[in-house]
Amino acid sequence: MMDKIATSRLPTVNARIYPRGGLDVLSREEVAKLRDASAGGMHELLRRCALAVLTTGSTSDDPLAARELYHDFDIQVLQQDRGLRLDLLNAPAMAFVDGQIIRGVAELLFAVVRDLVYTSVELAPEFAAELSTSAGITDAVFRLLRNARVLHPGDPNLAVCWGGHSINRDEYEYTKQVGYELGLRGLDICTGCGPGAMKGPMKGATIAHAKQRHRRPRYLGVTEPGIIAAESPNPIVNHLVIMPDIEKRLESFVRVGHGIIVFPGGVGTCEEILYLLGILLREENAHLPFPLFFTGPAAAAPYFEQIDRFLKLTLGEAATSRYQIVIGDSAEVARRMADGIHKVRAYRVAQQDSFFFNWSIDIPLAFQQPFVPTHEAMAALDLHHGRKPQDLAADLRRAFSGIVAGNVKEEGMRRVEQYGPYRIHGDKDIAEALDALLRAFVEQRRMKIAGEYRPCYEIVA
């Protein structure tokens, strides 16, 4: 049921929708949590995430933009005898066609409800002791992914693609070519679910999957509340998972993916690279096969040369041995990824490890505990030589995570507005290399899709 609403801004609708399967009915207590707009409730979080899904396909990276355009949007979760109902008030009309909500949008909307409810259970106070251990956090990640029904027991075939939301046209077209080559080889795609390098591989794979008559392709998008509020899911995502924080999101990529491809990106992409390399540099993971490729069109060669130099300076040659750089050859990247996943399969068989969740990789607690980028926490990061590479990688990852928060997450943006830019301290050569890298991102417009970028950080040697 839908009524069109006249507004002075963008057209909106009122709608009443029901789940089409894939979401178990909620208890009265769970519905109350979603409806509770008071302190400790999830109503505002639900509203922000739902609005992001209803504006799927938006290219904005400003978390306040959609809320300003649809300031009177609201969502109500109602429990009925026969199941669940969502009432949408002043919802974006772009999510509807001829009076009906677009089916893919509806599926993603109910994924939001599913994940927020289950997260409230998994992160409840009674589980605090469990979430203070590495094994406990990994178990929570597993349960969240299982509840989202994205753990499939079939042969390994999931290629994770990382890269920026703000990339140029040539880079975007190249991500589509790589996705196409991956799809021809029967590989499914997992990304951060947003635009740019997160959309391109999925778009390319759709054509290849159609050619190969791949009947049930997976386009898995893994995000978290602060990111999805700034970057709406791209319309190709057919499985959406909202993890409670960035650390569990990153662990999800590593646990469910069978190999990772990195395209050009900005600070978020560097955060992902440092997270993964910090884990792979651990002695416990030295023997673990994990295909990792950096790739882009020919024009992206200088970008990856700068990334490579930064990683050599900070983490050493051992880090660079864990990845391969392939420039301007989408078919070669896909061939190497397919070959690498075959090796992953052989290793999992030998170790009697599951195909759908990588239990073997060791992720220490320092990489799992949520980092809150306050000004004090950012200033306290230890970016100095003499530390173990994996420990330095952990703090560098936090530095990039804080910059991401200051760039696109509402809470981080509010902190920067109130207290000024984050101050990041480090050894002179590390600080200079970090500053040069970030300046290059600004010049290449990798920090923000539109508008002038105002740095949320200061680098102090």
Mean per-residue pLDDT, 106-111: 91
Residues contacting residue 332 through CB under 8 Å, at least 6 positions apart: 326
Q: Which band of pLDDT confidence, cut at 50, 70 and 90, is reported for residue 435?
A: very high
DSSP 426: B
Q: Which two tokens stand for residue 183?
A: 């799809």
Helix, strand or coil, per DSSP, at residue 13:
strand
pLDDT tens digits along 385-430: 999 999 999 999 999 999 999 988 888 999 999 999 999 999 999 9
Select from 254, 218, 243, 241 the least CA-distant residue to 359. 254
Rounded distance, CA 409 to CA 148, Å? 24
- Residues of 36-74 as b/e, b for ≥16 C-beta within 10 angstroms? eeeeeebbebbbbbbbbbbbbebebbbbeebbebbeebb
Select from 264, 177, 270, 295 the least CA-distant residue to 444. 264
For residue 50, what is the enclosing H or E element? helix 43-54
83-92 and 74-80 as β-strands: parallel, antiparallel, unpaired? Answer: antiparallel
- Whether the pLDDT of residue 141 is over 50: the answer is yes
Between 25 and 383, residue with greater pLDDT = 383
Sign of the CA dihedral with 239 first, then 273, 255, and 207 last: positive
pLDDT tens digits along 14-60: 999 887 655 656 777 777 766 664 445 688 888 889 999 999 876 66
Lowest mean pLDDT among 126-130, 319-323, 454-458: 126-130
CB contact at 8 A, 334 and 184: yes
pLDDT for 6 equals 39
pTM of the model: 0.91
- HSE, CB side, 13 Å, CA atoms: give it for residue 12: 19
Mean per-residue pLDDT, 144-154: 92
Work out the mean pLDDT of the chain and round it to a whole number.
Answer: 90
Residues contacting residue 40 through CB under 8 Å, at least 6 positions apart: none
pLDDT tens digits along 215-238: 899 999 999 988 887 788 999 999
pLDDT for 62 equals 61
pLDDT tens digits along 247-295: 999 999 999 999 999 999 999 999 999 999 999 999 999 999 999 999 9
Number of H helices, E strands in the chain: 17, 15
DSSP 96-107: EETTEE-HHHHH
Structural domains of the chain, ranges and CATH numbers in brackets: 2-122 (3.30.1850.10), 139-351 (3.40.50.450), 369-460 (no CATH)
Between 35 and 441, residue with greater pLDDT = 441
